[in-house]
């Protein structure tokens, strides 16, 4: 299995609220996408985290906008006057990550009602597992679309890969849930732990890691992601919000 590939045909506009300056583009399949660029600040590793984390969330029953790969010819940004954007597009020639654009969605701030408790606990467990620090009230990285909650922006997760800390160290890395949007359900997390952990099989991890294109991942690193995630799965007492069961 691999992610579908589209080609960008038009650069529509930059999403300035995003730190990595993602842009909205149209694809040759007539779809509209949020493009996350391999040439942006954190480089392709942020896109690797987006795929592994996003596809894991999806397989565990949470809503994540569809992910595709997008071939970019920087010439499509020719009429974009901003030099920073021109530079970003030129640096990002080739494959980038396309996130299905959810038109009319808005950022989750709790004011339109909360998702059910079980969903909140599930999201908290998974964010702790992938060490996602980007789900605070300041920046929930949750969108509300058609009255449903959608998870976006997992580029800061799996941060062990920036310096390749050892699998043992990552496995035992505590997760600080204090700032998490769903920190109030932390005490529910131990109760769903065994069930969720059992859903994440080694095969499932292999499957989501296989979706990362060769362009963004070094030889042998797929096994390293797999090893780190399996180690963290086996050592949950160290990081589980709400304490070990």
Note the residues at the interface with ligand ATP (CB under 6 A). 15, 17-20, 22, 34, 65, 99-102, 105, 107, 139, 141, 143, 152-153, 155
Least distance CB 143 / ligand ATP (angstroms) = 6
Q: Is 140 in the site for Mg ion (CB under 5 A)?
A: no
Residues 3-62 that bind Mg ion (CB under 5 A): none
Least distance CB 126 / ligand ATP (angstroms) = 17
Say which entry of Mg ion, ligand ATP, none residue 99 contacts (CB below 5 to 8 A, set by partner kind). Answer: ligand ATP
Instruction: Closer to ligand ATP by CB, 156 or 229: give it.
Output: 156
CA-based torsion, 53, 146, 98, 133: positive or negative: negative
Say which entry of Mg ion, ligand ATP, none residue 17 contacts (CB below 5 to 8 A, set by partner kind). Answer: ligand ATP
Q: d(Cα 220, Cα 164) in Å, to the nearest integer?
A: 13
From the list 27-35, 38-46, 113-121, 141-149, the region that binds Mg ion by CB under 5 A is: 141-149
Q: Are 242 and 73 in contact (CB under 8 A)?
A: no
**Alpha carbon of residue 186 to chain centroid:** 21
Least distance CB 125 / ligand ATP (angstroms) = 21
Q: d(Cα 97, Cα 212) in Å, to the nearest integer?
A: 10
Q: Strand 5-14 vs strand 67-72: parallel, antiparallel, or unpaired?
A: parallel
Within 8 A by CB and 6+ apart from 3, the residues are: 51, 67, 68, 69, 211, 213
- Draw the binding track, 151-190, toward Mg ion (x: CB under 5 A; -: no contact): --x-------------------------------------
Instruction: Closer to ligand ATP by CB, 138 or 220: give it.
Output: 138
Q: Are 76 and 10 in contact (CB under 8 A)?
A: yes
Q: Are 188 and 242 in contact (CB under 8 A)?
A: yes
């Amino acid at each position: 299995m691999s992610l579908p590939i589209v080609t960008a045909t038009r650069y529509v506009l930059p999403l300035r609220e995003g730190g990595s300056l993602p842009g909205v583009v149209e694809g040759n399949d007539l779809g509209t996408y949020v493009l996350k660029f391999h040439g942006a600040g954190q480089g392709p590793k942020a896109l690797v985290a987006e795929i592994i984390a996003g596809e894991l969330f999806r397989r565990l029953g949470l809503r994540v906008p569809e992910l595709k790969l997008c071939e970019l010819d920087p010439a499509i940004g020719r009429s974009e006057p901003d030099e920073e954007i021109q530079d970003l597009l030129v640096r990002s020639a080739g494959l980038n990550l396309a996130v299905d654009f959810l038109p009319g969605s808005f950022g989750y701030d709790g004011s339109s009602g909360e998702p059910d408790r079980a969903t909140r606990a599930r999201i908290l467990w998974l964010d702790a597992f992938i060490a996602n620090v980007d789900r605070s009230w300041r920046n929930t990285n949750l969108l509300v679309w058609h009255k449903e909650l959608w998870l976006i922006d997992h580029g800061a997760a799996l941060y062990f890969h920036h310096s390749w800390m050892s699998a043992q160290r990552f496995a035992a890395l505590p997760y600080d849930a204090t700032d998490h949007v769903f920190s109030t359900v932390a005490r529910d997390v131990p109760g769903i732990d065994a069930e969720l952990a059992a859903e994440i099989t080694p095969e499932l991890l292999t499957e989501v890691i296989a979706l990362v294109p060769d362009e963004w991942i070094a030889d042998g690193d797929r096994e390293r992601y797999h090893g780190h995630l399996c180690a963290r799965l086996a050592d949950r007492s160290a990081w589980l919000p709400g304490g070990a069961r």
